[in-house]
Every structure is written in structure tokens, then in C-alpha cells.
DNA sequence: CAGTGGTCTAGACCACAGT
DNA sequence: CTGTGGTCTAGACCACTGA
């Protein structure tokens, strides 16, 4: 049972993405939305806030929220959705090609990120992920063993790791994303069908459980011609 | 006169950054903060929400917010602060070296981003920006003429463009950031003291006024060894 | 069990947009 | 001027934490 503001957010978001609201259109005023959904102002404002952070609308004092011009298919960093779910909402067909599933000892960088010691074991899954058949990113995902062990009886070519782990009681409470650029190494180049040394957008993603403990640390390298990231922020709500 | 929740946010943020609250510490419960600041729950929650998006704290039901382990000096994408302000808060010395200030006709990409026609003029400022003397990013910033004209009587080596424009009545209401990776061209390589073809993190930034009209479109290329970006998101508040 | 944060209600006042 | 969103108040109920 999702909260009320979540339903409202998803409903309006759908109306914008399907074109029921065009760029520049005004949304109904908050009072009208309160009437329409039979809720008080709180949930309405929460829903609009999420839409604003995602860059779909912008707000000013004195006028209802307006819809932004449609933007290109970039991943929005504010409402971070797993790759396969995101691909579907942008109308493209995601695919997976698993390169390896292994149980190994972790390196210093991984140990630090997962807050474990260098002697500990981890489960590492390397997957090439595609959009409409073209290579889009190479994902090197590492899990702590307690979480990752359930991944050995799972075909990562078919299903979503996120869904599989959620079904096994793992809760993704929050994520941290760090973005920089790297040159493709030979493995990257081979998998992504680019030249060695070509620039890649790297996302290092750490997933946390509700207690703030990290259980996943992933190094994802994107072809910049296939996927970009975007974020919107309004000064009003921050600084 | 900034809103109450902003003061509270800045105060707690300061206490975390100066180490008064250590990683893992619990913040006071919301009721205690309400008492301390003599406000109701709304502003307290707004302040905590901003801290959470910035990645400084994490929250769970049933326990007060806790402070995250301190993170490396990366720019946080949620509370987007101008480069020079950000540099100061991380304890580094920002510097500017202006390469050119020009009034030119714009290209198709810029015309599209600024919602003007290709015949229109723009003001372009190219600046190398440094941290503690080392090249950090090359900024190619383009303004619409109405906003940019005030930049000719201004020394961009010394002051902050953001501050200068704010003083001239320009309001930065919201920003959109698009991130990808590019190979350094010869200009980038020369300015940033790297090899041609080296991977750079590119941020294309569009700034909007309160009416949602774009007035700045900037192409900023970062040395990935000097600056990275990060963002935190909690599932609770989004999806 | 008591304490806490997540969500929601019903009201209020102000600053700003557009007429 | 009226209508709107930005901010704040004072309450409420529920789900979850930890003793």
C-alpha cells in the first residue's frame, strides 16, 4: 500500500509523459488537485515536489505549476530507478548479457565502500546491459555475501537483480551515486564495442539497507552516446 | 530573510561539517529540535529532508536521523552551489583564469537550449577554473544578451559571475544539469594540462529564471581526478 | 512497552502573478 | 483586486525501533 502522495505523483507523471499535458501547460491549481484527490494540501505538495525535482514541472509563486519542455531520454538522478525499469519507461527494450558471476575476495576500494575487511568474500556479477540490442553500459556489481548468496540460484540474463533481492527480503533504503569519467580499458572496450581509451561515464553506486549499512557497490560504465544523466534543482527548496 | 527551515538546515549542516556530530551519531529527535528552535514539525522535517538528499544523514522509522560517514570532497548535485562557493566549503582555494569574453552568434545546440533562434547573439565566457592552483575544469558559459550584457563591465578573473548577476537583478530560480563523458579536444587538453583524448566529465548546465525561461547554457568539462559529483537518494521519499 | 519518524488533516498568513 | 503557491502551526494516527 503506497502512500497517497505517491499515487498522485505517478498519476500526474503519467499524464505528462503520455502528452496529456503538453510543455508549457499549467497543471490544475493545488486546491483543484485537493478536491480531485480528496486529500489535504500536504500530499499534493509532496507529489509536486517530487515532480519538480525530477525536472518535469517548474513552479512559481502566484501561478500553478507548469510543464517543462519534454526532455531527451536521460536518466533522472533524483528518482533513481533501476536500469531495466528506466529503459521501459523511455520506450526502449533492455537486455542483459552476463559475463561472470563469481565469489571472490574483495579489493581495498570495495572493502572500504562496503565497510568490510579486505579478507572478506563478496559476490561479483559483471553484466553487459543493452538498449534495443546496442551495448549501453558495463555493470560490475559487488554484493556482501549475506545478500549476494541468493544470486547463485538466479539467472541474471533474464530477471532483474533488484526485483530478485527485494523478493528475498533485501530492502534498498537509499543509494549514493558518484559520477566521474574514465577511459575504457580493454574489457570495457571489448564489451561495449568501442575503442580502448574512449571516454566513458562512470557511476559508482552504493546501496544501503534501512539501517544505513552498505550491501552493494557497483561500478557502472556508460557509453555517453547511449545514456546520459540529468538532474533538476530549484533554488527555492535548497539554497 | 530566509525561511526558518533554511536556517535550521544550515545550522545542522554546519555542526556535521565541523565534526560536532560524528559519523554514526544520532541527531536529536524531531520533538527536541522543535523545542530547541521553537517551531512546529514542518520546518524541522523540511530541513532534515534537505540534509538527507544531500547525503549527510539517513533516516529510519523509529530512530532519530543518523549522520553518515564523512565523504570525500565531491560536489553534491542536490543542493547545487556555484563552483567558487563549493570550493570554499571544502577548504580549497578557487581561482579563475578567463580565456575569452565574446559576443557571437549562437550555434544550433545553444539556440535550442536557450530557446532563441540561430541568428541571435549571445555572450560567451570561457574560463579555466582552478583548485589550489591546479586546473580543475574548463567552463564555456553562454548567456542571452539581455542578461549577459552586464558582464562586459566585469572582471571574471576576480569575482563570481553568479554574484554579479544576482546583484544586477538576475534570479537563478532553477537549474538543469546533464552529465556525460567526452574526450578532451585540443583546447581542453591545453587548458587543463592533460592529453588530447583524455576522458573528461562534462556537465551541461541550463539556468532558468522564475518564469522558467533559460538564460544560461554552460558546457563545463571537469578533470575527473580533481572533481567528481555525487548524489544521495532515499527510496522512502521517491519510489 | 514507550519513543520515534512517516504520513495526513485543517487551518492560517504572506508574497507574488495577472487582471 | 483575487487567486495562487511558499511557509508555518497544531494537532492526529500508524509503523517501526529498541528496551
Q: How far apart are CA A3 and CA A212, in angstroms?
A: 22
pLDDT tens-digit map of A150-190: 888 788 788 788 888 877 778 788 888 889 999 999 999 99
3-state SS of chain B: helix, strand, coil percent to 5? Answer: 30, 35, 35
Which residues numbered 34-93 in B keep a CB inside 8 Å of some CB on A? Answer: 50, 55, 58, 60, 66, 68, 71, 74, 77-81
Contact A182 B199 (CB under 8 A): yes
Quote the minimal CA–CA distance from A218 to chain B in Å. Answer: 14
B49, pLDDT greater than 70: yes
Most confident residue range from A13-17, A90-94, A234-238, B183-187: B183-187
Cα angle vertex B119, ends B118, B125, to 5°?
75
Q: Give chain A positions within 8 Å (CB) of B212.
A: 58, 60, 66, 68
pLDDT score at A7: 93
Tell me yes or no: is domain A75-230 CATH 3.40.109.10.
no
- Identify the three-state secondary structure at position B166: helix
A44-48, B62-66, B71-75, B113-117: range with lowest mean pLDDT: B71-75
Percent of chain A with pLDDT over 70: 93
The residue written with cell numbers 568474500 in the block is A121
Q: How far apart are CA B160 and CA B84, in angstroms?
A: 7
Residues found in chain A:
239
pLDDT tens-digit map of B119-142: 899 999 999 999 999 999 999 999
pLDDT score at A72: 58
B62, pLDDT greater than 50: yes
Check residues A51 and A233 and name the one with the higher pLDDT: A51
CATH number of B4-71: 1.10.10.10
- The mean per-residue pLDDT over the stretch A99-115 comes to 91
* Extents of the domains making up chain B: 4-71, 75-230
Quote the minimal CA–CA distance from B167 to chain A in Å. Answer: 16
Q: Does nucleic acid strand C have an atom less than 7 angstroms from the CB of A42?
A: yes
- Identify the three-state secondary structure at position A218: strand
pLDDT tens-digit map of B74-98: 676 666 678 887 888 778 899 999 9
A43-47, B18-22, B73-77, B149-153: range with lowest mean pLDDT: B73-77
Residue in B140, B108, B109, B103 with CA at minimum distance from that of residue B121: B103
Q: Give chain B positions within 8 Å (CB) of A228.
A: 178-180
On whether the CB atoms of residues B141 and B82 are closer than 8 A, the answer is no
Write the DSSP symbol of residue B22: -
**Nearest residue of chain B to residue A76 (CA atoms):** B178
On whether the CB atoms of residues A189 and A204 are closer than 8 A, the answer is no
Q: How far apart are CA A190 and CA A196, in angstroms?
A: 8
Percent of chain B with pLDDT over 70: 93
pLDDT score at B225: 92
For chain A, say whether B178 makes contact (Cβ under 8 Å): yes
Q: Give chain A positions within 8 Å (CB) of B237.
A: 50
Q: How far apart are CA B134 and CA A64, in angstroms?
A: 46
Q: Give the residue whose CA sits closest to C5 at C1'.
A: B61
A64, pLDDT greater than 90: yes
Residue in A70, A67, A47, A48 with CA at minimum distance from that of residue A57: A67
Residue in B198, B220, B196, B218 with CA at minimum distance from that of residue B207: B218
Q: Give the residue whose CA sits closest to D7 at C1'.
A: B3
- The mean per-residue pLDDT over the stretch B173-197 comes to 93
- The mean per-residue pLDDT over the stretch A106-122 comes to 89
Amino acid at each position: 500500500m503506497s502512500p497517497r502522495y505517491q499515487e498522485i505523483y505517478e498519476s500526474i507523471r503519467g499524464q505528462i509523459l503520455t502528452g496529456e499535458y503538453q510543455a508549457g501547460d499549467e497543471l490544475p491549481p493545488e486546491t483543484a488537485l485537493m478536491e480531485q484527490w480528496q486529500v489535504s494540501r500536504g500530499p499534493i505538495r509532496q507529489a509536486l515536489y517530487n515532480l519538480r525535482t525530477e525536472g518535469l514541472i517548474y513552479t512559481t509563486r502566484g501561478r500553478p505549476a507548469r510543464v517543462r519542455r519534454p526532455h531527451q531520454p536521460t536518466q533522472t538522478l533524483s528518482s533513481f530507478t533501476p536500469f531495466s525499469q528506466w529503459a521501459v519507461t523511455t520506450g526502449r527494450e533492455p537486455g542483459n548479457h552476463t559475463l561472470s558471476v563469481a565469489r571472490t575476495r574483495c579489493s581495498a576500494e570495495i572493502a572500504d565502500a562496503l565497510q568490510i575487511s579486505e579478507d572478506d568474500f563478496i559476490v561479483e556479477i559483471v553484466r553487459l546491459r543493452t538498449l534495443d540490442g546496442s551495448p549501453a553500459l558495463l555493470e560490475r556489481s559487488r554484493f556482501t555475501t549475506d545478500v549476494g548468496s541468493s544470486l547463485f540460484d538466479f539467472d541474471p540474463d533474464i530477471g532483474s537483480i533488484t526485483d530478485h533481492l527485494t523478493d528475498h527480503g533485501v530492502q534498498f533504503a537509499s543509494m549514493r551515486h558518484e559520477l566521474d569519467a574514465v577511459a575504457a580499458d580493454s574489457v570495457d572496450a571489448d564489451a561495449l564495442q568501442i575503442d580502448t581509451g574512449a571516454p566513458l561515464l562512470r557511476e559508482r553506486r552504493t546501496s544501503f539497507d534501512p539501517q544505513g549499512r552498505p550491501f552493494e557497490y557497483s561500478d557502472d560504465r556508460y557509453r555517453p552516446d547511449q545514456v546520459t544523466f540529468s538532474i533538476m534543482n530549484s533554488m527555492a527548496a535548497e539554497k
